[in-house]
Structure 1
């Protein structure tokens, strides 16, 4: 706890001052976080023990500088929630005059302009109400998509109309999107079991990020191959085995997506594992997916216009 006791002593008529600090072990069971009234409907969790700081034997309680105190978290911190430094006022917790200075997964530093009984409360969004018709429609659409992806994959893998036609990109598009939709279906089906496992949820969101992104990369590769097929460029056709081999295409199709995911994990490791086990949209982390997709679409568009003008 940081308090400028010397300034208080100078302002006190007696020329001295003392501060009393107390920590209550079970007080949160009495002064419950539900007494923290807010306009939004959230789940409130007490994140610290209740503490109290007073200036005994003095009528001078004005602080020349805010008092800072560190509260240790007694429960696991949910990064999607918001923390509030509060103090007890007659019959409720309020925020007036208090603010969060610093926080991490273990503790939070609060600053208040007065002394009182303090605590740290976390607000998280409550579970969203389910919509059975919408969930059924989503389930049917995903299953239908899986069926058609499977049929397309079998068609491209088993039917080869011309030796000069390369189906590698089409096959891998189907594989990426088939696996992504299958994983998405299983995740949403067992979301209540997966969500408490934060590591598993983050891994699943990373896999979905990789699979959907690789699908877009393979779409770009397919666009390039179609252009080559239509233009029938002899200089590329003569080097087709060297430049456009299946192994080379697989390296591009999957390594590019893998690099993006690895860089995203390195820069923002907590960006995976949202409420629905997908990329978190806060702090702009969603652009780790939308950014590469926009670049792929922009390059494809410029590539098309460039060659149409030639």
Structure 2
């Protein structure tokens, strides 16, 4: 009904809630130098309509339709080529038909289909057409593809779609889910205890806990957000914008952990260098506010630039950074760079400390304290850096996955044990608090601790 005779060319377009359609007609006196491209919101078709018209008394018409919700009816499960894969519809369903007596094509027709789902690398893409009761691939093939579009070539016209086949996801492992819940909760408890200890204990002059306090804040925020996300993942996943925001926040908090670890390494390097000075009084090289700005600004800039360059890089199925196009390196790149720089800093610290201890005539207790401080920082560097390297070997290896989970979730526990439980200064404070709590008296400042206004935080 919509096709009208024409001597040159004409077209008709219309759109409904569930359908987009475009018709193009050519006549004997066509003046176009190239064939038309018929387009809808999610698809396009290139057809040699002029040559087809020449073989049909100079006239031809083609109709191109895109159905917005047809994939819910003609489901990808009707594609029965393989039973052990998960099939996903990657495009809207489209149809094309010629309005001429002889519908034979002069050459294959190309369809450009926009992906309606996230592209999964390693999946098997198929251009398919509907044959009465099922999707089949006869006469259609994939010409080229990228993360957003795929070009299909077909030797006939029909109803088409793009389907991707991926390996079946592994079944949920109750053991891993239980271990994940338990270890993350334990890590959160000890991270909170370490944070409270750093915040409320009275430390000797020269002790700078800014990096450790903010490291605990970043760890606590990252692991708490991760735990809540995993527990409510089925409710979050349908909201793609929320999932993307969560993955960006996780990127920021985990990255800030490594930035604070780098800052602590720099402060430790400055502390060791100060051992060679005549004066034993340590001065704050950087103010607390400046350290906080540096610590969080670097992570914020990396996340902001990453989101600006790859706008759809956040919001994977697990509400984490997507693997496509190497976007995961927006996290791994800065992490491995910081780990490498920290390794250089710690090697310099060890060399400098060894040289200083040989030439400096200082108190034995101070030397011992500095050695312990360097050992703790080195251990912290190993605990924070190694687990992310193990992450490359967790695929299909449950033991490595469990080890990765334990090391990552217990970073706060390690900080609490090394810097709180194993610290004589903190243990004395704990005992004083405990005695005061049992006796019902108000907690007072320990006699061997300096007043608040003399300590460096």
TM-score, structure 2 as length reference? 0.57
- Equivalent residue number for residue 255 of structure 1: 297
- Equivalent residue number for residue 49 of structure 2: 5
More divergent stretch after superposition (231-240 vs 214-223): 231-240
Quick one: structure 1 residues 90 and 196, their matched pair in 2 at CA, closer, same or farther if it must change by over 3 Å?
closer
> Is the contact made by 1:21 and 1:52 (CA closer than 8 Å) also made in structure 2?
yes
For residues 282 and 103 of structure 1, the distance between their equivalents in structure 2, rounded to whole angstroms, comes to 11
Match of 1:88 among 118, 126, 130: 130
- Equivalent residue number for residue 278 of structure 1: 320
- Equivalent residue number for residue 212 of structure 2: 170
CA apart distance, 1:99: 3.0
Question: CA RMSD for the aligned pairs?
Answer: 3.4
- Equivalent residue number for residue 85 of structure 2: 41
> Is the contact made by 2:79 and 2:135 (CA closer than 8 Å) also made in structure 1?
yes
For residues 277 and 138 of structure 1, the distance between their equivalents in structure 2, rounded to whole angstroms, comes to 16
* Structure-to-structure mapping, 1:122-141, within 5 angstroms: 122-123=163-164, 129-141=171-183
> Is the contact made by 1:264 and 1:288 (CA closer than 8 Å) also made in structure 2?
yes
Quick one: structure 1 residues 308 and 72, their matched pair in 2 at CA, closer, same or farther if it must change by over 3 Å?
closer
- Equivalent residue number for residue 57 of structure 1: 101
Match of 2:254 among 212, 219, 233: 212
Match of 2:188 among 133, 146, 164: 146
> Is the contact made by 2:274 and 2:282 (CA closer than 8 Å) also made in structure 1?
no
TM-score, structure 1 as length reference? 0.82
For residues 309 and 261 of structure 1, the distance between their equivalents in structure 2, rounded to whole angstroms, comes to 35
- Equivalent residue number for residue 293 of structure 1: 335
CA apart distance, 1:24: 8.7
CA apart distance, 1:134: 1.3
For residues 186 and 92 of structure 2, the distance between their equivalents in structure 1, rounded to whole angstroms, comes to 49
CA apart distance, 1:44: 3.1
For residues 133 and 145 of structure 1, the distance between their equivalents in structure 2, rounded to whole angstroms, comes to 18
CA apart distance, 1:103: 8.3
Gaps of 5+ in 2: 1-37, 39-45, 353-457
Answer yes or no: is 1:112 the counterpart of 2:159: no
User: What are the superposed Cα offsets for residues 23-75 of structure 1, whole Å, 9 maximum, x if unpaired?
Assistant: 5969767754322234452243384344132474337x2533x32346688xx
Number of aligned residues: 300
For residues 79 and 157 of structure 1, the distance between their equivalents in structure 2, rounded to whole angstroms, comes to 44
User: What are the superposed Cα offsets for residues 63-96 of structure 1, whole Å, 9 maximum, x if unpaired?
Assistant: 33x32346688xxx22245775322346532344
CA apart distance, 1:279: 0.7
Quick one: structure 1 residues 236 and 184, their matched pair in 2 at CA, closer, same or farther if it must change by over 3 Å?
farther
For residues 176 and 221 of structure 2, the distance between their equivalents in structure 1, rounded to whole angstroms, comes to 22
Name the SS of the counterpart of 1:270 in structure 2.
coil
User: What are the superposed Cα offsets for residues 111-151 of structure 1, whole Å, 9 maximum, x if unpaired?
Assistant: 42412213224548677632222101100000010011011
Quick one: structure 1 residues 104 and 143, their matched pair in 2 at CA, closer, same or farther if it must change by over 3 Å?
closer
- Equivalent residue number for residue 142 of structure 2: 99
User: What are the superposed Cα offsets for residues 140-167 of structure 1, whole Å, 9 maximum, x if unpaired?
Assistant: 0000100110111112112233111101
User: What are the superposed Cα offsets for residues 231-275 of structure 1, whole Å, 9 maximum, x if unpaired?
Assistant: 32549998944x411111111110000000000010011111111
For residues 216 and 161 of structure 1, the distance between their equivalents in structure 2, rounded to whole angstroms, comes to 24
CA apart distance, 1:212: 0.5
Name the SS of the counterpart of 2:312 in structure 1.
helix
More divergent stretch after superposition (46-55 vs 249-258): 46-55
Name the SS of the counterpart of 1:183 in structure 2.
helix
Name the SS of the counterpart of 2:89 in structure 1.
strand
Gaps of 5+ in 1: none
> Is the contact made by 2:70 and 2:92 (CA closer than 8 Å) also made in structure 1?
no
For residues 109 and 48 of structure 1, the distance between their equivalents in structure 2, rounded to whole angstroms, comes to 12
- Equivalent residue number for residue 197 of structure 1: 239
